[in-house]
């Protein structure tokens, strides 16, 4: 089955290429912010909605004005793509998948997207528009044979590292069907507790480097604003943040692909992370664990490899329900990690009991939706929406 898949590589541009990319990043950021301001003002002041076609025409007129002629110094394709990305951001906002789009800043991640008419792909070398030489790419893994990139995105993170993401159409082979199914309970003390009894510990990447990060942030705060030492201190802080994020992402990718390879159906609980982080005592730990990203990886990898991900409704009492007899407790405090069922007398480990209940409920949802479900499907509790769920009244 043909799927769009992006391959990300580290890039080491020359000084000349860095200048071209810096101008492109700046222009794309300006166009995105300008378009966001135009759309917002048009809606609140004139009750008018602007779409991609309207903004594209306005951008053409803007580039002809004397004070904005510098927009013509870079390829027009990344600027048009910035408008398309903003249009997609508004679609996600109106459909409840994301917050209202925000303005981009220079210190954040910078990116520019080039479509096929703005780069040259020849003999495994990538040359972007306005550049004379191909980019120096570290091929950490090979692209699929005879792959033709449909678009490439060049980005620079806060630590001044450059990356290129190459989007290709790939025929991803489905994994062999296996009878194994598993339920996964996401936690803080342990990252994942499987219904098989296996417990995967929480690496706590942020907690490991928290003291080092705090020290670097204090040094950064004491530097003179605008000085070179201030910039050096900022870079040190950014590198610690990047190290934490890289290690967490690597851990999540390895764990998610392992679960996908070993099991035909993976059952997880839908967690309202945005509401959970409002707990001041646990907000830091919840943000560190990265549940949303992990479930997101399970979703798209299940689609790629022909697996089924079942999401259980967040209000399902997986922890309070006895797996053996079905009795549901009236309440169960968070600090209680073991409890005994008052009806059947079975002693439960809270997390293991929850994972078994999630597994059983997930299989029930799968049966209710039909045994021959589409490979890669993401199932939720019948009657609930996968995109957004509001608390029940």
| Dist CA 376 CA 265 (whole Å) | 9
3-class SS of residue 52: helix
Phi, psi of 110 (to 5 degrees): -105, 140
Catalytic residue among 157, 170, 299, 351: 351
Catalytic residue among 185, 198, 250, 330: 185
Annotated catalytic residue 269: yes
Cα distances (angstroms) measured from residue 197 to each of 204, 266, 322, 324? 21, 15, 16, 15
DSSP secondary structure string, 238-283?
A: HHHHHHHHHHHHHHHHHHHHHHHHH-SEEEEE---HHHHTT-TTTH
Annotated catalytic residue 299: no
Label the pairing between strands 308-312 and 265-269: parallel
Q: How many CB atoms lie within 10 A of CB 10?
A: 13
Annotated catalytic residue 157: no
Structure-token pair, residue 109: 């991640």
| Dist CA 184 CA 358 (whole Å) | 7
Catalytic residue among 269, 324, 335, 367: 269
Collect all residues with Cβ–Cβ distance below 8 Å to 18 and sequence separation of at least 6: 162
Residue with tokens 């120096």: 136
Given a contact cutoff of 8 angstroms between Cβ atoms, the answer to whether 268 and 363 are in contact is no
The catalytic residues are: 185, 269, 351
């Amino acid at each position: 089955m043909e799927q769009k898949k992006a391959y990300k590589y580290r890039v080491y541009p020359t000084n000349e290429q860095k200048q071209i990319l810096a101008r492109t990043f700046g222009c794309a950021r300006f166009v995105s912010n300008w378009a966001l301001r135009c759309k917002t003002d048009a809606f609140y002041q004139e009750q008018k909605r602007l779409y991609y076609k309207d903004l594209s025409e306005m951008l053409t007129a803007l580039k002809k004005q004397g004070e904005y002629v510098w927009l013509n110094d870079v390829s027009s394709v990344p600027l048009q793509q910035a408008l398309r990305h903003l249009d997609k951001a508004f679609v996600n906002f109106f459909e409840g998948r994301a917050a209202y789009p925000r303005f981009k800043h220079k210190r954040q991640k910078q990116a520019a997207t080039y479509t096929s008419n703005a780069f040259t792909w020849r003999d495994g070398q990538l040359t972007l528009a306005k550049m004379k030489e191909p980019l120096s790419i570290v091929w950490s893994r090979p692209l699929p044979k005879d792959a033709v990139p449909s678009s490439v995105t060049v980005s620079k993170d806060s630590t001044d590292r450059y990356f290129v993401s190459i989007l290709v159409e790939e025929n991803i082979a489905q994994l062999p069907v296996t009878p194994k199914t598993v339920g996964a309970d996401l936690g803080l003390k342990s990252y994942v507790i499987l219904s098989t009894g296996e417990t995967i510990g929480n690496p706590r990447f942020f907690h490991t480097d928290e003291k080092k990060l705090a020290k670097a942030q204090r040094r950064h705060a004491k530097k003179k604003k605008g000085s070179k030492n201030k910039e050096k201190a900022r870079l040190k802080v950014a590198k610690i943040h990047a190290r934490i994020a890289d290690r967490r992402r690597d851990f999540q990718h390895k764990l998610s692909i392992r679960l996908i390879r070993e099991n035909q159906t993976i059952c997880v609980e839908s967690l309202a992370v945005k509401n959970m982080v409002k707990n001041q005592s646990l907000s830091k730990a919840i943000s560190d664990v990265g549940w949303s990203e992990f479930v997101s990886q399970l979703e798209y990898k299940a689609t790629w490899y022909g697996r089924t991900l079942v999401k259980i409704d967040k209000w399902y009492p997986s922890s309070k329900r006895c797996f053996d007899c079905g009795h549901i407790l009236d309440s169960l405090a968070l600090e209680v990690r073991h409890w005994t069922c008052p009806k059947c007398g079975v002693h439960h480990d809270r997390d293991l009991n929850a994972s078994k209940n999630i597994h059983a409920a997930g299989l029930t949802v799968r049966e209710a939706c039909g045994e021959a479900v589409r490979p890669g499907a993401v199932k939720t509790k019948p009657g609930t929406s996968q995109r957004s769920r509001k608390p029940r009244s």
